[in-house]
Chain A
Amino acid sequence: MYCVKCGVELADSERKCPLCLTPVYYPGLEEDPERPFPRTEIEVEKVSLRGINFIMTFLAAIAIIISVIADINTSMGFSWSGYVVGGVVLSYVVFVLPMWFVRRSPAVFVPVDFAVAAIYLWYISFATGGDWFWTLALPITGGLALICSSVTILIYYLRCGYLYIFGGASIALGALSLLIEWLIHVTFTLPVHHMWSPYPAITLGLIGIMLIVIAIVKPFRESLARLFAL
């Protein structure tokens, strides 16, 4: 038999032309022809991440246990190891924890990461006797958490409107910089010499506005696409 499109002669076992992928049209098509190869699939081994997860968990546990034991042995108490433990837990939550889950929604993991970071910061401020957590660290972490979470969630679920998302995020970051300066002043009661926060705020705000303008004005977007074409 022959391929109706490219005209090559085909072996009886063919059901579509191996050259042009056209299905075979032939009146005397055999039901179950002798194929040159059976249909037995070859199983491709997939590397399981679970093993790596176990190893990482194990390593993290070892780091925590050893530093705690060493700390107790040397200083008869709980001094520096708290920071190590906090650091290890934070990096574990950020990098390894999501690996345990099949569906890794940023709506859950990004806020969780910031929450753990906030707890770690609280511990540091508590352990060092600093009085800066509630007035400085928590609002900054909260603000960043809000911005990062919204950006990742929007990107992950919308998969469009990136210019709006990044424009909005840029403006929000600018606003956050103003907030940060004000919080620093409140927390450490510094004398007001000069203000730095308007500079990033204005820059980020302008970038944000520009991105949104580009997103809104279609001809402008297209002309830019032409200009920066690779």
Chain B
Amino acid sequence: MKLVDKFIRTQLELTKPIADGQPLTEARSLHDRIGRVMHHSRRRDVVIVDDYIKEPDSALIVPRDELRGGVILYLHGGGYVCGTEHAANGFGSVLSAELGMRVVPVEYRLAPENPYPAALDDALMAYRAVVADGTEPGRIVFVGDSAGGGLAYALALKLKELGEDMPAGIIAISPWVDLTLSGDSYDHNKEADPSLTRERLEYYADCYVGEEYCSPTMGAKQKGKEQPKRIRTRSELRKDPLLSPLFGDLTGLPPSLIFVGEDEILLSDALSMRDKLNECGCSVHLVSRPEMWHNYVLFCLKHFKSDYDYMNAFIRRVMPKGNERKLKWMHIDNGGKIYPASRTSTWHNVFRLSMTLNEEVDREVLQSALDVTVRRFPSIAVRLRRGVFWYYLEEIPHAPTVQDEKCYPLARMPFDDIRHCAFRVIHYKNRIACEFFHALTDGTGALVFLKTLVAEYLAEKHSIHITPGFGVLDRLEPPKEEEYIDQFPKHKGPVGKSRSDTDSYRIHGTPEDDGFCHVTCFMIKSKELLDLAHSMGVTVTTVLAAALSVAAIRLQNQDKVNKRRHKEIKILLPCDLRRIFGVDTLRNFMLYVTPGIDPRLGEYTLSEIAKIIQNKMQLEITEKNMRAMIHTNVKDEETLILKLAPLFLKNAVMKFFFLLFGEKKSTMTLSNLGVVKLPPEMTPYVKDVDFTLATQASGPYNAAVISYGDMLHMNIIRNIKEPRLEYEVYRVLRECGIHVKVESNER
């Protein structure tokens, strides 16, 4: 016997006489405390969702690392008289964490206040509620320890009696299946058992059997005369199969796995149950451990870790095939295919979304919220892998660790990092930032992820309930198929559209030698910009694109190039296709338009440019035109020769075309995610939302816009030393009477 065992045994033996004389309230509070400790030890591995079932009020324990579908209905022990919410959640958490399954710990009513059949009724109601919630009975396993083990069998018998579907299996830990205490181990293990005594079990049994049916109490007396047959003696009732399943007809019960310690007085209960199940033709496996005491499994002894292997193997055997969680994998969508190919040693297409709270962010809670959130996003919580023909995305088994902020955002993601996890979560003071490799999703999809993450964080931190909606997803619902399939091929038009386009002006400057990126945030009152846009009859995005165009025209003038050799100024504007096609995907689903301004034609005013951009956008952003553009993109991907080309060849070709044609066609990108709306429960906590793009591969600038509350934030990023564009943009805005406040990550 190991030293730990000896120690625990001695402790149990010491408390044995005390426990016998203990009042019920103390016994209950002891159970409660043990449960709290157990849950505390596993609090990192599980999430408890309260009020999952209303009647009987039971929680749902979700493992952070959910390995398989299905639900465990856990019936706690405590002789039907002990065990409350915390006691049930305690071992429930252990089960959930060890088996990687959702657990519903049933808080059935306790005797003697609520004698038989209260506990059984509650267990039945909980079972029905789980089934009603969408879990097939074939994916439910009953787990019960001690009295809970007996209750599990009683529930199975009850289901048989009612003709309802049976669960997949029953795992019983030191089950108490014989309330008559007739087994011989009550005598020969009397001394050896370090915790239980016959007297105590007698008392529990009496409590559970109750007074009403067996003794002439007030209630029974009144009804007694009318229903004399209902009155049975205590001993008769104790033999009832729904109290002592050992005496029932066990045929047709699902497979069982029973654990028992050989030193406990309930040993014969387990042995007889095994024999009886065998007799009735049920599959049963008994694990008995020498020198172990009652409910030894609950003590989580290190050298009996294999007990959980037994449970895992049992569940794998009884559950339908394909129940085990498989890491999803998916092709990169048509819009994202260019990003892994176009990456260079110093540049990746990444973007950042961040939320600044009104309080300091708790790193531990954030990590825990991230663990929960990633499960909901199998298409975003992924890593990039190399296939023979294409890159593909694979779900990551665990959430990545929250990282520290550095002196600039969107630092290079080495390919080795992307291979392990293609997004990162960064925490700095009040801010939670997520940086995504663009192959995973676009700004709109990423915003849903960030909102959901922050909602989960706030819910965990402040124990508030945040109603899903406004882009916040329910963290515990399963991912929907629509969210992670590639939407491009579905919305392909009948014919394509030429991609040919003219080259545009490129801003240049002195590159920062160490890759430092300057981010300048322009903080503008949304109202002022909106008024300006309305006065010109255009949108806010257009006004900002026009302002950037005017600034770029001025820069080109400063470059002292012959005016006749000036190139077009083209601001690349991503447009969200979700709105056009009415789909809710979390993958990439956007295209670009690049309205151009030709400075050779003469001088332009801001409103002139704004009108040109607005008109060009209206012409191009139509459903038909977008379908044609999608056709062109999808057609390339579907060409057989291209399909069969090995990845390295594809990469070389795609990179060549990207550098030659892709980037030269635009001066810079301006991405506007619009106004961020949050559930009303979240708004008091969230101060700012920010959106930042990485620079272009060969261009030094990019700009990203997002609005929250009454403020609009435009983050302009650059990797050159001189703030050329920023200064000009500010001048343009100032000339229009727009007040700007700037903040930067100055060196």
Contact = CB atoms under 8 A, between A and B. Distances in A.
A42 B740 contact: no
Contacts of A35: 745
A9 B727 contact: no
Interface stretch (A18-26, A127-135, A213-221): A18-26
A85 to B, nearest CB: 36
A7 interface: yes
A41 interface: yes
B407 A19 contact: no
13 contacts: A6-B730, A6-B731, A8-B741, A9-B741, A13-B743, A14-B744, A19-B726, A19-B730, A20-B727, A39-B407, A40-B404, A42-B406, A42-B411
B743 A11 contact: yes
Nearest to B430: A34
Contact of A11 (B408, B731, B741): B741
B518 A18 contact: yes
Contacts of A41: 406-407, 514
Interface residues on B, range: 20 to 34
Contact of B746 (A6, A18, A40, A44): A18
A37 interface: yes
Nearest to A9: B741
Contacts of B523: 11
Given A38-B405, A40-B406, A10 B741 contact: yes
A37 B521 CA distance: 12
B730 A37 contact: no
Contact of B408 (A6, A7, A8, A42): A42
A51 interface: no
Nearest to B521: A36
B409 interface: yes
Given A14-B743, A35-B745, A42-B407, 12 more contacts: A7-B734, A9-B739, A11-B743, A11-B744, A14-B746, A16-B746, A18-B723, A19-B520, A20-B727, A37-B428, A42-B514, A44-B514
Interface string B516-554: 101111010000000000000000000000000000000
B407 A18 contact: no
Contacts of B746: 14-16, 18
Contacts of B521: 36
A18 B734 contact: no
A44 B515 contact: yes
Nearest to B411: A42
Interface residues on A, range: 20 to 34
Interface string B491-522: 00000000000000000000000111011110
Contact of A18 (B405, B411, B726, B739): B726
Interface in B713-747: 723, 726-727, 730-731, 734, 739-746
A44 B414 CA distance: 11
Contacts of B429: 34
Contact of B743 (A16, A36, A39, A44): A36
Nearest to A40: B406
Contacts of B739: 9
Question: Which of A10, A18, A20, A38: most chain B Cβ within 10 A?
Answer: A18
B402 to A, nearest CB: 15
A118 to B, nearest CB: 41
Contacts, number: 83
Contacts of B516: 42
Give the top 10 A-B pairs by smallest Cβ distance, nearest first: A11-B743, A18-B744, A37-B745, A9-B741, A19-B727, A42-B406, A18-B520, A42-B411, A40-B406, A19-B726
Interface of A: 6-11, 13-21, 34-42, 44-45
Nearest to B716: A18
Contacts of A18: 518, 520, 723, 726, 742-744, 746
A41 B742 CA distance: 22
Contacts of A9: 739-742
Question: Which of B411, B519, B742: most chain A Cβ within 10 A?
Answer: B742
Given A8-B742, A11-B742, A44-B514, A37 B520 contact: no
Nearest to A37: B745
Interface string B9-20: 000000000000
A71 to B, nearest CB: 38
Contact of A20 (B515, B723, B741): B723
B515 A8 contact: no
Nearest to B515: A44
A21 B518 CA distance: 12
A131 to B, nearest CB: 54
B551 to A, nearest CB: 11
Contacts of A17: 742
Contacts of B404: 38, 40
A5 to B, nearest CB: 10
A35 B516 CA distance: 17
A211 B167 CA distance: 99
Nearest to B356: A36
Contacts of A38: 404-407, 428
A19 B742 contact: yes
Contacts of A19: 520, 723, 726-727, 730, 742
Nearest to B731: A6
A37 B407 contact: yes
Contacts of B727: 6, 19-20
A45 B428 CA distance: 24
A44 B744 CA distance: 21
Contacts of B515: 42, 44
A20 B723 CA distance: 7
Contacts of A13: 743
A40 B407 CA distance: 5
Nearest to A18: B744
Contact of B405 (A7, A15, A37, A44): A37
A33 B734 CA distance: 27
Contacts of A14: 742-744, 746
Contacts of B723: 18-21
A79 to B, nearest CB: 42
Interface string B406-440: 11110100100000000000001100000000000
A25 B570 CA distance: 37
B408 A37 contact: yes
Contacts of A36: 521, 743-745
Nearest to A34: B429
Contacts of A39: 407
Contacts of A11: 523, 741-744
B312 to A, nearest CB: 42
A33 to B, nearest CB: 11
A36 B692 CA distance: 13
B533 to A, nearest CB: 21
A37 B726 contact: no
A62 to B, nearest CB: 26
Contacts of B520: 18-19
Nearest to B747: A39
A11 B746 CA distance: 11
A22 to B, nearest CB: 11
Contacts of B741: 8-11
A173 B404 CA distance: 63
A6 to B, nearest CB: 7
Nearest to B721: A21
Contacts of B726: 18-19
Interface in B470-498: none
A42 B745 CA distance: 13
A37 B514 contact: no
Contacts of B514: 41-42, 44
Nearest to A3: B742
Nearest to A47: B345
Contacts of B408: 37, 42
A16 B734 CA distance: 19
B586 to A, nearest CB: 28
Nearest to A21: B723
Interface string B225-257: 000000000000000000000000000000000
